[in-house]
Amino acid sequence: MEKNIEVFAGTDRLLLRKFQADDIESFYVYRADPEIAKYQSWENYQYHEAKTFVHNQINHVPNQPGTWFQFAIALKETNELIGDCALHTPLSEPRIVEIGFTLSPKHQGKGYAREAVCAVMDYLFHSLGKHKVIAFTDVRNNKSIAVLERIGMRREGHLLQNYMSKGQWVDEYQYSILASEWESSKFGFKLLAIPTKGEQDDNGNS
């Protein structure tokens, strides 16, 4: 891992960290996969887009109203990038945030998405003091719906023809969870205590 790379949250298997330059190739490979793009806004993802995206994220910090931040999901043992988790902090109400997530196909089916999203959720509620977390999913995206329900989010709405995807209007479900509903203890894995910046020494060590 690059020296002093910022880690926001983690579990026994995963780190939720900032993107780093080494991630471009892995990020490009899964983003360009048509199966990954099927229920997403992008199509025919290009290498130069991945490069720009990663460089923008390196210079970005989470929790800035009016912006999206992307947490890199990496294997704790090897630091390999296996996916990402997006955080949208709206300008109008930054205490209610939106998340999204993607896992590389070769790392699906192992519980990593559920684990990563739980770690991010814990960071959002406990470190950032958010009031509510929401997520939108295409109603046909069964794998995404399964993750959202496994982590205890409630289906709050069925939004008809709510976004334009690959030339057609698509229905979405809105899922939500309130800070008061969030209990990390019900999950079968340990969330790592990540020291805040102020608790780290000058070398970034805790």
The residues of the shown chain that bind ligand COA, judged by CB under 6 A, are 36, 39-40, 100-103, 108-114, 135, 137, 141, 143-144, 147
Among residues 192 and 200, whose Cβ is nearest to ligand COA?
192
Structure tokens of 11?
């579990």
Select 102 or 174, whichever has its Cβ closest to ligand COA. 102
Please, what is the minimum distance in Å from the beta carbon of residue 113 to ligand COA?
3
Would you say 114 or 132 has its CB closer to ligand COA?
A: 114
Nearest distance from residue 198's CB to ligand COA, in Å? 32
Give me the numbers of helices (H) and strands (E) for the chain, helices first please.
5, 8
Considering the complex, what minimum distance in angstroms separates the CB of residue 11 from ligand COA?
10
Cβ(56)–Cβ(25) under 8 Å? Answer: no
Minimum distance from residue 49 beta carbon to ligand COA (Å): 16
| Residue with Cβ nearer ligand COA (58 or 86) | 86
Q: Shortest approach of ligand COA to residue 128 CB, angstroms?
A: 20
Residue, CB closest to ligand COA: 111
> Which three-class secondary structure state does DSSP give residue 30?
helix
66 by Cβ neighbours in 10 Å (0-12 / 13-18 / 19+) ranks as: exposed
The conformational region for residue 167 under phi > 0 = left, psi -120 to 50 = alpha, else beta, is: left
3-state helix, strand, coil in the chain (%, to 5): 30, 30, 35
132-138/154-165 β-pairing: unpaired
Pick 109 or 129: Cβ nearer ligand COA:
109
